[in-house]
Amino acid sequence: MTHAVARLRAERLARSLKPFVARGSRAPRCPQCRVLGNYCLCAWKPQVEVRAGVCLLMHDVEALKPSNTGWLIADLVADTFAFTWQRTAVDPGLLALLDDPQWQPCVVFPGEYAAPQRVIGELPAAPGKRPLFILLDATWTEARKMFRKSPYLDRFPVLSLQPEQLSRYRLRRSKREEHLCTAEVAALCLELGGEPRAARALDAWLDLFSERYLGAKHRWPVDEQSPAHLAVKALLQD
């Protein structure tokens, strides 16, 4: 069964005028985990119950990139919604989601870029509602532009996280180690929302994906006794 990011990727590919080829490899990848054949990690995917929802606003080609970590969020968080961000148009489905009374949306973004009255450091009390974390899935430069040019998000509070750790993400280069990847941000949100097991599972899934992805790239042997494998194995046995 496909999830929201997989469906968005399929829609984006259908609109492409030429095939999208991931940089560095033309070898076939597993359609579910996006890793080269012998390094597939589908059998290791943990199952977790998550009360929160995640809304991914994805820059144009993010869903096409095999290294995209929004995909990992959708692997574990059942209520993950994914939309392509456009400057001149808004997906009606996104607006309907934001108006759905079961959800309490908040935009997850550094508070320094928002008006002070919008910035919060913890989830607001909303009895009967489930948190919906809106994440801008893009490069840092693109994400700042998306934040500025999405007026339909202005009515929602901005959840400003204060991560204590540097990013562990190794699949793309960043000039600033304090910039977390999308899955790392989502894990922090789940922790803040009182779902520590789900947060731990997402962190572990990211680490295993990164290890297998890099292993495939460099043709390293799979080590099922590595810390990343053992962390996921503990979740599977829990």
For the chain, which residues make up each domain, given as ranges? 4-15+40-237
In the block, tokens 């994440």 appear at 135
Report residue 166's pLDDT band, with 50, 70 and 90 as the boundaries: low
| Range in 4-8, 121-125, 148-152, 222-226 with the lowest mean pLDDT | 121-125
What is the pLDDT at residue 163? Answer: 77
pTM over 0.85: yes
Work out the average pLDDT over 160-172. Answer: 72
Work out the average pLDDT over 167-175. Answer: 61
Q: Rounded to the nearest 5 degrees, what angle is found at the Cα of 202, between the Cα atoms of 27 and 93?
A: 80
The string of DSSP codes covering 146-191 is HHHT-GGGTTS-EE----SS-----SS--S-TT---HHHHHHHHHH
Work out the average pLDDT over 127-140. Answer: 95
What is the pLDDT at residue 1? Answer: 55
* Contact predicate 97/55, CB 8 Å: yes
Distance, in Å, from the CA atom of 80 to the CA atom of 135, rounded to the nearest integer, reads: 11
Is residue 111 over pLDDT 90? yes
Is residue 63 over pLDDT 60? yes
Is residue 176 over pLDDT 60? no
Report residue 2's pLDDT band, with 50, 70 and 90 as the boundaries: confident
Q: Token digits for 138?
A: 């893009």
Q: Share the mean pLDDT of the chain.
A: 90
